[in-house]
Amino acid sequence: MPSTAIFTFHSVLQDFLKPAARKVPVVYTFNGSPALKDAIEAMGIPHTEVAAILKNDAPATFSASLRHHDKLQVYPLDQSKVWPTGYSLRSEPLKPYRFVLDVHLGSLAKVLRMLGFDVVYHQSLHDTEIAQLAQAEQRIVLTRDIGLLKQKIIEHGYWLRSQQTEQQLQEVVSRYELQEHFKPLIRCLRCNELIRQVPKQEVLHKLPPKTRLYFHDFYYCSPCDKVYWKGSHYEHMMQVVQQLKIKLLPLEQTGL
């Protein structure tokens, strides 16, 4: 006869549940004694989104076995919450934060690179390669693929709720509190390498006629042989960043 356990998923973890299962305890039916990680992921929630688990009011690990009539409280990652010793299931990601993005997030990769963040992105990367890179280089995985985040070797990762680049940026900046770490125009948008500021005369032969006339500050990526300047795309992104910073200010600083 199958066993049952009751799971309560808190806050944003409910994003992963079917609408009918949200805001109510979930009755989970199982056979044997599965690990908590397996049970939680079977319900659609990747382990990278879980900060702490209470099993019958005591802290539990992902490898703990699920038993008949167990009651579980499952909590999401929250930068503002500090768990007592023995409760948190993961360490903080290595700083400064570095990322690896899946093949569907090319636009977000460019935006994050524009803001100075170290981002690995290649259209040819498979899920297994992404997971291995994340483990080997201690990178945070950003993805719209929940299944990717269920790979055991991925310790830090985030599932993007939105499909729109600007909203995705807001999610990532908010999740990892990046707003004070922007360093625009230090990385190549194409290859992620650091770029250097160069005199206009050095790249004059590479510039379109109007760019030669109206712009004076230039940056160069040697591996890509690519020149950057603060054009309309840059100005638009800086407006987005400024609006984003305002949205993320504490209420007392916004006067609300």
Give Cβ neighbours of residue 108 (< 8 Å, ≥ 6 apart). Answer: 101, 142, 160, 165, 168, 169, 172
pTM of the prediction? Answer: 0.90
In a 13 Å sphere around the CA of 189, the CA atoms on its Cβ side amount to 16
State the pLDDT at residue 223. Answer: 95
The per-residue pLDDT for range 171-222, each reduced to its tens digit, is 999 999 998 899 988 999 999 999 999 999 999 999 999 999 999 999 999 9
Rg (CA), the chain: 22
Around Cβ 129, how many Cβ atoms within 10 Å? 13
Q: What average pLDDT does range 125-129 have in this prediction?
A: 96
How far is 176 from 5, CA to CA, in rounded Å?
A: 33
> What confidence tier does 249 reach under pLDDT thresholds 50, 70, 90?
low
Q: What average pLDDT does range 1-25 have in this prediction?
A: 93
pLDDT beyond 90 at 92: no
State the pLDDT at residue 254. Answer: 34
The per-residue pLDDT for range 134-158, each reduced to its tens digit, is 999 999 999 999 999 999 999 999 9
pLDDT beyond 80 at 61: yes
> In whole numbers, what is the pLDDT of the chain averaged over residues?
92
Span 3-76: which CATH code?
A: 3.10.20.30
Residue-wise burial string across 218-229, b where 16 or more C-beta atoms lie within 10 A, e elsewhere: bbbbeeeebbbb
How far is 252 from 235, CA to CA, in rounded Å?
A: 28
